[in-house]
Structures are given as structure tokens and as C-alpha cells.
Amino acid sequence: MRKLLVLLVLVLAGTLALSGPAAAQVPTEDSVTGTAHVTAEQCFEGPPPFPGEPPFVQCFSPNRYIFDVRSGAGGENPRGTVIFATGERQGLTLDNGSVTCLTVSGNRASVGVNFPGLSPAFPAGQPHAAIVFVEDNGGEGQDRLGVQNLPQGSSAPSICPDGPPSGVVLGPTYPRRFTDESVTVTDAPSPLPTSKGQCKHGGYAQFGFKNRGQCIRFVGLIPGPGPYPSGRAECQHGGWAQFGFKNKRKCLRFVGLRPNA
């Protein structure tokens, strides 16, 4: 009986170990989530509501960006929203932007956004486009953010740049007094090989290729860091150029070799 109890304890311990951090799933999507406060919080202290209690404190965060942005690990299928919020309570106005592209590298992300204009507002807000650059440094008030406002009348791109252009500097974000709000950038591992070495020693199989040669030919066609076309239609009508291919033929060859395309 005693041996049976010991065996049961060992089995239970093994089950708990497997359900712990070691079993955590690897992210399959790139994403930017959370809130970045781009102006310092303003706090006002009033008299305590009752004798003996601490003073009443009310804080306002004038301007912030709220992110809920996702894409595939290679930047494909970008979606979500970026909201610019200014003011509080009755004075709150929002600019609910739709995402056009997402590029993530490590702790940095570039997000293309088409904004309709602040609402409610008088006069009505004007539509505008921008690329928002975010750097996730791991905590409230440590992240950095910069915005490239695009020319009036233009739309945000379908493929985001890797980083900000000259003249766009990532500025600070600010902590809040009573809440912990920051931005989280997730860089999912690429589902595609990026070097010929990943195709060797049977590595081609984990990416879905039939053999090593097919995998190596695919790597030789990769035009850049992504995103990549997932179907032949994306190579048509000059679409090959936006992915960095030299011509339509190479784009079509890439799609033809890509697993599950």
C-alpha cells in the first residue's frame, strides 16, 4: 500500500510539472497590445472626504494610444485597431484607426493606421494616415513611441517599414499613479525557414517541405524580412514589387514552393 501511495505521488508531481511553464505555448502571431501614455499624467489633490482619511486625488492622462493589433508571424493578414484617445470623461474624444500593416522585430513594431478623425469633435476631425513605431522595453513608463504622419489624402501602406525614417524619433511614454499600463510587443517565430542551415539534418520537414532541396530553393528566393505572399494572386498586377521581388516570375516561384500556399 505504501509503495502504491508513493507511485501515485510521483505520477501527480509529473503531471503538475508538465502543466507548468515548460508547457507554455509558443506564440503563433505577431502582436502589439496595451496602452502607451504619451503625455505625463496630471493629478489634483483635494481635501479628504472624511476626517482622518488621506486626501482625495484625481488623475488625468491627456493623450494615449491603445493598441490591439495582430498579424501572422510573417506580417501577413494584419488586423486590429489603434485608438488615439485624448481627454477624460465628458471631454473624451477618440480616433479609432484601422490597421493596414504590422512589422515586428524583437521588441520593436511598426503599425500602419488609417484614422477617421477625432470623434466627437467640433469641427469634425479629418481623416489621416500614420505609421506608429513602438518599442517595448518591459514596463510602464519605459516603452517608447514615435509617429510618422503621412501626407494628407494618402493611406497607410500595406507593408510597414522595419523602423522609423530619419526625423522620426521615438519619444518617452509615461507611468500612471494608480494603474500599471504599458505596451507589449510579441514577435512570434517565423513559420518559414530563413537560412539554408535550417533545411539541413531533416529540418526541412518541420517547415512542411517534401525534401531538403525544395527548402533550400525556397530560402534562395526570400526577398527580405517579410511579409510574404501567400497566394499567386498577390504576385499579379505589380503586387510582386511590394514584397521585394525583382519580377513576377520570382514571386510566383516563391509561392509555388511555399508550403500550404
Q: If you count DSSP H runs as helices and E runs as strands, how many of each does the chain have, helices first? A: 5, 11
> In whole angstroms, what is the distance from residue 35 CA to residue 131 CA?
16
CA distance 219 to 53: 67
Locate 204 and state its grid cell: 526541412
| Block mean pLDDT (10 aa), the chain, length 261 | 49 48 70 95 86 85 94 88 87 92 94 92 81 93 95 94 94 88 90 88 87 93 82 91 92 88 60
Instruction: Give pLDDT, residue 3.
Output: 52
Domain residue spans of the chain:
29-47+56-186, 196-257
- What are the contacts of 149-153 at 24+ separation with CB within 8 A? 152/126, 152/128
pTM reported for the whole predicted model: 0.71
DSSP reduced 3-state for 105: strand
